[in-house]
Amino acid sequence: MKMLRVLDSSGDRAISFDNSQESAAARVAAQDLFERLLANGSVAFKVHRTNGAPDEKVTEFSALENETIVVPRVVGG
Query: Would you tell me which residues interact with another protein (CB under 8 A)?
Result: 5, 7-12, 41, 43, 45, 47, 54-57, 69, 71-77
Nearer to another protein, 8 or 32 (CB): 8
CB of 43 to another protein, least distance (A): 6
Vertex 13: Cα angle to 58 and 77 (nearest 5): 70
d(CA 37, CA 39): 5
Nearer to another protein, 27 or 68 (CB): 68
